Amino acid sequence: MAFWIASSPHNHNHTKTPNLMRLVMYATLPGVIAQWYFFGWGNLIHIGLAMATALICEFTVLSLRKKPISHELFDGSALLTALLIGICLPALAPWWISVIGTMFAIVIVKQLYGGLGHNPFNPAMAGYVVLLVSFPLQMTLWQPPLTLVAVDLNFTNTLTTILTGFTVEGYSVEQVRTSIDGFTMATPLDTLKTNTGLGLTVLESIKNPVFGDNFALGWEWVNAGFLLGGLFLIAKKAIAWQTPISFLISLFICSFISYSLSPDSSASTMFHWFSGATMLGAFFILTDPVTGATSNKGRIIVGLLAGLLVYLIRTSGGFPDGVAFAILLCNMSAPLIDQYTRPRTYGHLKGDK
């Protein structure tokens, strides 16, 4: 027997970063399943593509950086990034969209800044924004819910569309996206934006079939799925509740104010909550600890700021959804917010830093 020297504490609660990442990935399941149910296989295929790309990129960069590969490759952070990118992408976007997006996210946004824990921006959102800015056409290839699509989008059809741009039967992406009535379908947010731009009132716009019976056909259930997963994460204490709650409240307040001022030109509060990437952003991206604020006060401020930015971009910006941009802007301001929201240390007076 020999004695073993270690520093205290000698005990640990056995939590591990990879486990945390895995938990977050499991929590996306309800949303992903809803996405699959309403929009078909497209996003699942993109998730697969992105994950494969992420692993390859991570492996390459880690070996170049001479880092312990087995240790870091499977810490789950790259896979989570890939998963989020896959979820965000338009279902019928070509395959290289997810590959390029993931490569950018992993190689440049994450690893070149020093790897896990050192990236100032959320890799998934930065990758998404790069795609949105660089390939605006492909990034608008949103697929309408399956119920509105004329072509039968089974797995093979989706796969061939993503890989070649045509279904097995030879329909092009544009044809697939064209509804039974002959209109090209966009997302509810996009549609609303275009229509209000054309001078239509919100009430007139939401007659469009993409809005469905409630707020946004399909999208509302996807968002509900992510909400469920997010609540699960909060219950598990895997994420802090402050960020998503303050974000949702902020978005609610903004949309409520404008809705009460001019109901004709503003969408309802619930429409804002349950369309686009609201819930995904609130619970899965904004809560990314690496790029968010650390103190509780800071988290609340970041959430409020993000809600305001999302609302502003959605209503007055050039893009239909603003979650990605809002989150990147919040990432930028997080260190500053942290700097000014340091808690008062025990035994120190307030302001006496």
Partner 1 sequence: MVESVIERITRGHFWDFHGGIHPPEQKFLTSNKPIKQLALPKQLIIPLQQHIGREGDLLVTIGEHVLKGQALTLSTNPMVVPVHAPTSGTISDIKMSVIAHPSGLNQLCIFLDVDGEDAWRKRNVCYDIEQLSNHEIIEKIADAGIAGMGGAGFPTHIKVNSKPDINFLIINGAECEPYITADDLLMMEQSNAIVDGIKILDKLLNPAFILIAIEDNKPKAIKALQQATTSIEKIKVCVVPTKYPTGGEKQLIQILTGQEVTSGQLPIHAGIVMQNVATCFAINEAVRHDIPLIRRVVTVTGQALNKPQNVWALLGTPINFLLEQCSVQNIENEKQPVIMGGPMMGFSVSSELVPIVKTSNCILVPSKVEMPSAFEKESKEVECIRCGQCSDVCPSQLLPQELQWSAKAKDHAQLKKLNLSDCIDCGACAYVCPSQIPLVHYYRIAKAEIREQQQLDLKAEKAKIRFEARKLRLEKEKIARQEKHKKAAAARKAAMNKATPEATGAKSAVAAALARVKAKKASKDQAQTNVPDPQGDLPTDSADDQKSQVSAAIARAKAKKKLKEEAVNKLSLDSGIVSTKSEVEADKVAPTEQPTVDDKKAKIAAAIAKAKAKKLSKSAESSNTVQAPENMVSEKIASSDDKKAKIAAAVAKAKAKKKLKEATSFANNDQDSV
Partner 2 sequence: MNILLAILVLGSIAAIFGALLGFASVRFKVDADPIVEQLDALLPQTQCGQCGYPGCKPYAQAVADGEAINKCAPGGEDTIKKIADLMGVEVQPLDESHVKGDIAQSNRPKVAFVIEEDCIGCTKCIQACPVDAIIGAAKQMHTIIIDECTGCDLCVAPCPVDCIEMRELPETIHNWQWDLTSIPVKQLD
Q: Which stretch binds partner 1 (CB under 8 A): 158-166, 257-265, 314-322, 341-349?
A: 341-349
Query: Shortest gap between Cβ of 296 and partner 2 (angstroms)?
Result: 31
Cis peptide before 9 (omega within 30 of 0): yes
Q: Which does 70 bind (CB under 5 to 8 A by kind): partner 1, partner 2, none?
A: none
Q: Does 244 bind partner 1 (CB under 8 A)?
A: no
Burial of 95 (0-12, 13-18, 19+ CB in 10 A): middle
| Region of 1-9, 86-94, 121-129, 150-158 interacting with partner 2 (CB under 8 A) | 1-9
CA 127 to chain centre: 11
Question: Among residues 251, 250, 227, 230, which one has the least CA distance to residue 240?
Answer: 230
Assess 295 for contact with partner 1 (CB under 8 A).
Answer: yes
User: Residue 118 binds what, of partner 1, partner 2, none (CB under 5 to 8 Å, by partner type)?
Assistant: partner 1
182 binds partner 1 (CB under 8 A): no
- Interface with partner 1 (CB under 8 A), residue total 42
Q: State which residue, 214 or 341, has the beta carbon closest to partner 1.
A: 341
Beta bridge partners of 172: 166
Q: Which does 71 bind (CB under 5 to 8 A by kind): partner 2, partner 1, none?
A: partner 1
The site map against partner 2 for 2-41 (x = CB under 8 A) is: xxxxxx----------------------------------
Distance CA 232, CA 241 (A): 11
290 binds partner 1 (CB under 8 A): yes
Q: Which two tokens stand for residue 90?
A: 């338009």
- Phi, psi for residue 28 in degrees, rounded to 5: -80, -10
Size of interface with partner 2, in residues (CB under 8 A)? 7
CB contact at 8 A, 175 and 152: no
| DSSP 8-state assignment for residue 302 | H
Give the separation between CA 221 and CA 207, rounded to whole angstroms.
Answer: 19
Q: Is 136 in the site for partner 1 (CB under 8 A)?
A: no
Secondary structure element (H or E) that encloses residue 18, with its range: helix 17-27
Among 111, 83, 134, 114, smallest CA distance to 280 is for 83
Structure tokens at 259: 């809705």
Exposed, middle or buried, 346 (CB in 10 Å: 0-12/13-18/19+)?
exposed
| Residue 136 binding target from partner 2, partner 1, none, CB below 5 to 8 Å by type | none
1 vs 261 by CB, closer to partner 2? 1
Residue 12 touches which member of partner 1, partner 2, none, C-beta under 5-8 Å by kind:
partner 1
Residues at the contact surface with partner 1, assessed by CB under 8 A: 1-17, 19-20, 71-72, 75, 77, 115-118, 240, 289-290, 292, 294-295, 342-349, 353
Residues at the contact surface with partner 2, assessed by CB under 8 A: 1-7
